Amino acid sequence: MNAKGANFQLRFLSPGLLKTWLYFAIWRIAVLLPFSGLLGLGKLVGLFLYKLPTNRKHIAKTNIELCFPELDKTQQAKLLRENFVNMGIAIMELGIAWWWSKKRFSKLLKFEGLEHLQQAEGKGIILLSIHYTTIEVGAAAISTVCDRDGMYRAHGNPIYDYIQIKGRLHKSSGNSRLYERRDVRGTMKALKAGRTVWYAPDQDYGIKQGVFAPFFGVNAATVYATARLAEKTGATVVPFTHVRLPGNQGYKITVHPALEDFPTGDDIIDATRVNNLVESFVRLQPEQYLWAHRRFKTRPAGESDFYTKS
């Protein structure tokens, strides 16, 4: 899907969707605040969400306990609270990534390792990311320095989906495209054509197109698409990270060296390597990772659901 795919439709003006437009209008106005103000507002939103006994809070708490058993209960609770603060800030960052001008946005960005992208030019590049809470900022940031395509999951609300597509293409050169997560054929075609495709393999999509591989020492259903796409298209896998810096300093975008001797042809070995890489990135800023996702929802036969409330 390219920018032309984000077409406005008259059905978006139906009375049942006016409330959604109102929410986005309020959100859009809030994004006019200076960066420090947005961070402060996001923190308040996060602390409010933290106080609520939601299922997402239970999921995040469970994930932190599974992945950081070396932390005591007080440390785990502190990490959970910080994570919700970061999720609140992420709501504001969506607006920054989608609606700030490229000139204003670029002032927040500090890049390292761009030479690794340049070295990989000449064939397709799988730009491997992870689900930090800064994920939208990271995708928008890398679009300011390279022409990259992206993958996304269609939203159930048509207004949100429309604005999401427009926002994610906002800072691109105009040649970028978005592919729905299930559009494997479109993604492969892009990689074979030498394009750079953003991809995040760190969520649980079941075991039909994946294998169980360790993640923080726990078996996790892991998609093998990273290796399969690289194998079938000859693309290079180049990881990159995007973390929020302390205070009002902005964001650090780091492009890491391309993976060597990848893939091996063994799905479990390759999935384990990807998970190890993801884990090392999570440990850079664990409070900025999206712990509210049920990363361990698919279990091997005989294992119980981690997320069942006792």
Q: Cα angle at 268 between 261 and 142, to 5 degrees?
A: 55
Contacts of 20 (CB under 8 A, 6+ apart): 157, 159, 160
Residue in the block written with tokens 């969400």: 49
pLDDT digits (tens, 9 = 90+) for 255-268: 999 999 999 999 99
pLDDT digits (tens, 9 = 90+) for 137-161: 999 999 999 888 887 777 888 888 8
- Mean pLDDT (the chain) is 92
pTM, to two decimals: 0.92
Tell me: pLDDT of 106 over 60.
yes
CA distance 106 to 55: 36
Residues in the chain: 310
The C-alpha R_g of the chain, in whole angstroms, comes to: 19
